[in-house]
Amino acid sequence: MIDRKDIHRTYASLINEAQEVIISTVDKAIEEMQRQKSSNEFGRVLSNITKDTNRHFTSEEAYLKDFKYPEYHYHKEEHQDFSTKALAYSKIIPNSDSQTANKILDYLKKWLVRHFQETDNKSIEYFYNYSEVI
């Protein structure tokens, strides 16, 4: 039988791994954009980043909801904020120059890093503390 403490620790580990993958993807996209300077390529890259983050957000929200995380709704609103902005950016990209595309990628990276370091760390801390009292 799997101990609930292990489930919480596994959750925290999975979240950390997903965060690292997403930031790595954004970093690679920034490097690629600086080399190619193509807004069409940027649209594809932004689409991939959006898919990766949405997949991460969906699985994370399932854990938060399942374990009755007290700040679930606030956390989910942040995810929706990112998704809305990424969608809006994907619509303006075809007419953007490489400098604008790089600024958008930089903004999205900063948003994700802040979210991971602040909002996600609060949920991870909750799960570690929760698992200790079970």
Are 50 and 90 in contact, with CB atoms under 8 Å apart? yes
Q: What pLDDT score was predicted for residue 2?
A: 42
Q: What is the pLDDT of residues 37-83, one digit of tens each?
A: 566 667 777 788 888 888 889 988 998 888 889 999 999 999 999 99
Band (pLDDT 50/70/90 cuts) for residue 26 is confident
Within 10 Å of residue 107's Cβ, how many Cβ atoms? 12
Q: Which residues lie below 8 Å from residue 74, measured CB to CB, with a gap of 6+?
A: 119
Structural domains of the chain in order of their starting residue, each with its CATH number:
4-133 (1.20.120.50)
Q: What pLDDT score was predicted for residue 50?
A: 85
Q: What is the pTM of this model?
A: 0.77
Q: Is 38 left (phi over 0), alpha (psi -120 to 50) or beta?
A: beta
**DSSP-assigned letter for residue 110:** H
Are 82 and 115 in contact, with CB atoms under 8 Å apart? yes
